[in-house]
């Protein structure tokens, strides 16, 4: 009893509260909805807290406190959004391109984070530092308790946050699976679409929703459809390299002069190559590396607005995906004597999917009423897919749509914070759909239109 009293007396509770508990409080809160495991990051932050929290100079301690908060914040978001830490850190320069205030959730999280940091900055540097090896040992023990708690509470992680392919992992992609090349392409043109935040449903209900959107029957008689799955690692730019250059590396690590990139191969075979993306050209430096992989023409948000496309508001203000198939059909129809490769990276699937008027999603009518009530954000995510599929189906059914094969593939599963949502998708897999133009499609179009 006396020993317990003595331990409680020397326990540096106030210091541990401000330096160990508070910086990790947001991570601890996320344990109850699920998230990525961060044992190494929590330990590094804890050791940094012990070091900086022991320095006499208050200014240095305050700087250390800010650094710990920033380190843990970037560590968490880098794992959630499939980014390496260095890429997540370098991506901070793009925050000005995003409209974070459009998401109430981001606003609330930001307010709580700022308030917590301000609270710790005021009291933390003024708190008495640990005294002696026993108090330091107790502080480190508290760090290890949080590390153990993180592992126990996030045990469902199971590799679902893989940001980098393990060394030696063979590259697999939708483009490799369908084995299309300039020499093997039977259609005049090829359209490649990467869908933002689209994964493979792992339960019967969500699979039925997905199948209703992309089912083979809706593409007939103009196209036959085949379906498959491929692994993914990392973020959207990793997915672009996976499909365009058969590489796991992100664009900043790839030597484009040596890489075997599909757009360059098509361009060398005489195809006109075009890349389209509805967001800012400088986002992840796409304006520089799209030409480097072999795209002759590029169009981004400002270009597409001039062409008459509408803007969808949200965290990523950009071109509405529903407008893009019409623009793509125009590109494919120009100079029909020249074959074309067109690539489109969609935008509106970025989380959080807003339900504002500009998105024109309307009330979600997919799935069961209970599912819609329990998972409104997930339902809106599928509604975006439905918008894209509807717009694409509308164009390919028109008379004169160019003879084009189409490959559609997801980039990564939607990066929901809640494990209850992430767990509704297959770990590490994204779907692809290959639409092969039927030889009799042009002859059937007038019949199809008359039937409608």
Q: Based on the domain organization, do 287 and 407 belong to the same domain?
A: yes
Q: Based on the domain organization, do 380 and 424 belong to the same domain?
A: yes
Between 38 and 369, where is the model more confident? 369
In the listed set 83, 118, 153, which residue is the last one of a domain according to the structure? 153
Quote the tokens at residue 337.
């004597």
Q: Based on the domain organization, do 312 and 358 belong to the same domain?
A: yes
d(Cα 124, Cα 140) in Å, to the nearest integer? 17
Average the pLDDT over 282-300 and give the result.
96
Let me know if residue 66 belongs to a domain: yes
Sheet-wide strand order for 189-195: 223-231, 429-437, 404-410, 189-195, 340-345, 272-277, 297-299
Q: Based on the domain organization, do 80 and 227 belong to the same domain?
A: no
Let me know if residue 387 belongs to a domain: yes
For 169-227, the pLDDT digits (tens) are 999 999 999 999 999 999 999 999 999 999 999 999 999 999 999 999 999 999 999 99
- Residue 446's pLDDT is what? 40
For 17-53, the pLDDT digits (tens) are 999 999 998 888 777 656 678 889 999 999 999 999 9
In the block, tokens 């050209």 appear at 281
For 233-251, the pLDDT digits (tens) are 999 999 999 999 999 998 9
- Residue 447's pLDDT is what? 33
pTM of structure: 0.82
d(Cα 422, Cα 353) in Å, to the nearest integer? 15
Residues 47, 89, 110, CA angle at the centre, nearest 5°?
A: 85
% pLDDT > 90, the chain: 65
- Residue 97's pLDDT is what? 60
d(Cα 432, Cα 430) in Å, to the nearest integer? 7
Count of domains for the chain:
2
Between 445 and 55, where is the model more confident? 55
- Residue 362's pLDDT is what? 87
- Residue 111's pLDDT is what? 81
Range of the domain at 418: 174-451
450 band by pLDDT with thresholds 50, 70 and 90: very low
Let me know if residue 158 belongs to a domain: no
Q: Based on the domain organization, do 255 and 223 belong to the same domain?
A: yes
Q: Based on the domain organization, do 149 and 193 belong to the same domain?
A: no
Q: Based on the domain organization, do 241 and 355 belong to the same domain?
A: yes
Omega before 235 within 30 of 0, i.e. cis: no
For 87-121, the pLDDT digits (tens) are 777 767 656 665 666 667 667 777 878 888 998 99
Let me know if residue 161 belongs to a domain: no
Q: Based on the domain organization, do 129 and 179 belong to the same domain?
A: no
- Residue 134 CB contacts under 8 Å (≥ 6 apart), including other chains: 10
| CB atoms inside a 10 Å sphere around CB 47 | 13
Q: Based on the domain organization, do 191 and 222 belong to the same domain?
A: yes
- Output the domain CATH number for residue 338: 3.40.720.10
Let me know if residue 147 belongs to a domain: yes
Residue 155, pLDDT above cutoff 50: yes
- Residue 32's pLDDT is what? 67
In the listed set 87, 118, 153, which residue is the last one of a domain according to the structure? 153
- Residue 82's pLDDT is what? 67
Q: Based on the domain organization, do 95 and 211 belong to the same domain?
A: no
Q: Terminal CA-to-CA distance of the chain, rounded, Å?
A: 85
Let me know if residue 169 belongs to a domain: no
């Amino acid at each position: 009893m006396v020993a317990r009293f003595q331990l409680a007396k020397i326990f540096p509770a106030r210091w541990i509260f401000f330096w160990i508990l508070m910086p990790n409080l947001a991570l601890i809160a996320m344990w109850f909805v699920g998230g990525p495991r961060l044992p190494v990051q929590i330990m590094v932050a804890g050791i940094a807290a012990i070091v900086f929290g022991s320095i006499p100079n208050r200014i240095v301690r305050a700087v250390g406190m800010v650094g710990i908060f920033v380190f843990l914040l970037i560590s968490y978001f880098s794992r959630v959004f499939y980014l390496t830490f260095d890429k997540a850190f370098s991506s901070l320069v793009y925050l000005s391109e995003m409209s974070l205030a459009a998401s109430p959730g981001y606003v609330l999280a930001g307010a709580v984070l700022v308030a917590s940091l301000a609270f710790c900055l005021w009291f933390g540097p003024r708190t008495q530092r640990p005294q002696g090896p026993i108090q330091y040992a107790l502080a480190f023990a508290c760090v290890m308790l949080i590390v153990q708690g993180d592992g126990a509470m996030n045990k469902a992680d199971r590799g679902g946050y893989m940001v980098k392919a393990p060394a030696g992992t063979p590259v697999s992609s939708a483009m490799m699976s369908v084995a299309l090349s300039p020499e093997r392409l039977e259609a005049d043109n090829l359209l490649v679409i990467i869908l933002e935040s689209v994964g493979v449903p792992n339960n019967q209900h969500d699979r039925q929703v997905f199948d209703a959107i992309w089912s083979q029957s809706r593409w007939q008689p103009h196209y036959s459809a085949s379906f498959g799955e491929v692994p993914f690692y990392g973020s959207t730019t990793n997915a672009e390299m996976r499909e365009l250059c058969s590489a796991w590396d992100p664009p900043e690590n790839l030597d484009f002069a040596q890489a075997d990139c599909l757009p360059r191969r098509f361009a060398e075979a005489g195809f006109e190559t075009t890349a389209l993306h509805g967001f800012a050209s400088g986002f992840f430096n796409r304006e520089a590396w799209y030409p480097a992989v072999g795209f002759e023409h590029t169009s981004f948000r400002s270009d597409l607005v001039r062409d008459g496309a509408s803007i969808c508001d949200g965290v990523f203000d950009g071109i509405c995906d529903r407008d893009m198939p019409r623009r793509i059909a125009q590109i494919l129809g120009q100079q029909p004597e020249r074959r074309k490769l067109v690539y489109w990276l969609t935008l509106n699937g970025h989380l959080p999917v807003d339900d504002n008027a500009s998105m024109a999603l309307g009330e979600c009518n997919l799935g069961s009423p209970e599912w819609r009530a329990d998972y409104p954000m997930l339902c809106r995510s599928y509604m975006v897919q439905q918008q894209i599929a509807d717009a694409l189906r509308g164009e390919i059914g028109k008379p004169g749509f160019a003879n084009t094969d189409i490959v559609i593939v997801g980039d990564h599963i939607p990066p929901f914070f809640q494990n209850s949502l992430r767990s509704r998708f297959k770990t590490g897999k994204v779907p692809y759909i290959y639409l092969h133009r039927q030889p009799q499609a042009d002859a059937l179009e007038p019949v199809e239109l008359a039937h409608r």
